[in-house]
Amino acid sequence: MKPTTLADLSQLKKEKRKFATITAYDASFAHLFAEQGISVMLIGDSLGMTIQGFDSTLPVTIEDISYHTRSVRAGAPRAFLIADMPFMSYATPEQSFDNAAELMRSGANMVKIEGGDWLCDTVKMLTERAVPVCGHLGLTPQSVNVLGGYKVQGRDESSAQKLLDDAIALEKAGMQLLVLECVPTTLAQRITEALDIPVIGIGAGNMTDGQILVMHDALGITARPPKFAKDFLKETGNIRDAIRLYIEQVESGAYPDQTHSFN
When asked if residue 23 is in the footprint of ligand KIV (CB under 6 A), the reply is yes
Residue 45 assigned as binding residue: yes
- Tell me how far, at minimum, the Cβ of 237 lies from ligand KIV, in Å: 25
* Number of Cα atoms under 13 Å in the Cβ half of residue 204: 31
Residue 84 assigned as binding residue: yes
When asked if residue 179 is in the footprint of ligand KIV (CB under 6 A), the reply is yes
- Give which of 228, 213, 232 is closest to 259, Cα–Cα: 228
C-alpha dihedral, 205 to 206 to 210 to 212, nearest 10°: 50
Pattern 55-94, ligand KIV, x by CB under 6 A: -----------------------------x----------
Q: How many residues bind ligand KIV (CB under 6 A)?
A: 11
Q: Of 128, 157, 181, 235, which is the active-site residue?
A: 181
When asked if residue 174 is in the footprint of ligand KIV (CB under 6 A), the reply is no
Question: In whole angstroms, what is the distance from residue 119 CA to residue 125 CA?
Answer: 10
Residue 46 assigned as binding residue: yes
Q: Between 23 and 192, whose beta carbon lies closer to ligand KIV? A: 23
What's the one-letter identity of residue 151? K
φ, ψ dihedrals at 84, nearest 5°: -75, 135
Question: In whole angstroms, what is the distance from residue 140 CA to residue 119 CA?
Answer: 13
Question: In whole angstroms, what is the distance from residue 39 CA to residue 61 CA?
Answer: 25
Burial (0-12, 13-18, 19+ Cβ within 10 Å), 222: middle
Q: Between 128 and 195, whose beta carbon lies closer to ligand KIV? A: 195
Q: Which neighbouring-strand residues pair with 135?
A: 113, 178
Q: Which neighbouring-strand residues pair with 177?
A: 134
Q: Which of 81, 214, 218, 229 binds ligand KIV (CB under 6 A)?
A: 214
Quick check: is 94 catalytic?
no
Question: In whole angstroms, what is the distance from residue 23 CA to residue 45 CA?
Answer: 9
Pattern 36-55, ligand KIV, x by CB under 6 A: ------x-xxx---------
Q: Between 114 and 171, whose beta carbon lies closer to ligand KIV? A: 114
Q: Between 4 and 21, whose beta carbon lies closer to ligand KIV? A: 21
Residue 112 assigned as binding residue: yes
When asked if residue 202 is in the footprint of ligand KIV (CB under 6 A), the reply is yes
- Residue of minimal CB distance from ligand KIV? 44
Cis peptide bond prior to 256, omega within 30° of 0 = yes
Question: In whole angstroms, what is the distance from residue 143 CA to residue 141 CA?
Answer: 5
Which amino acids are annotated as binding site, given as ranges?
45-46, 84, 112, 114
Catalytic residues: 181
Q: Which residues bind ligand KIV (CB under 6 A)?
A: 23, 42, 44-46, 84, 179, 181, 202, 212, 214
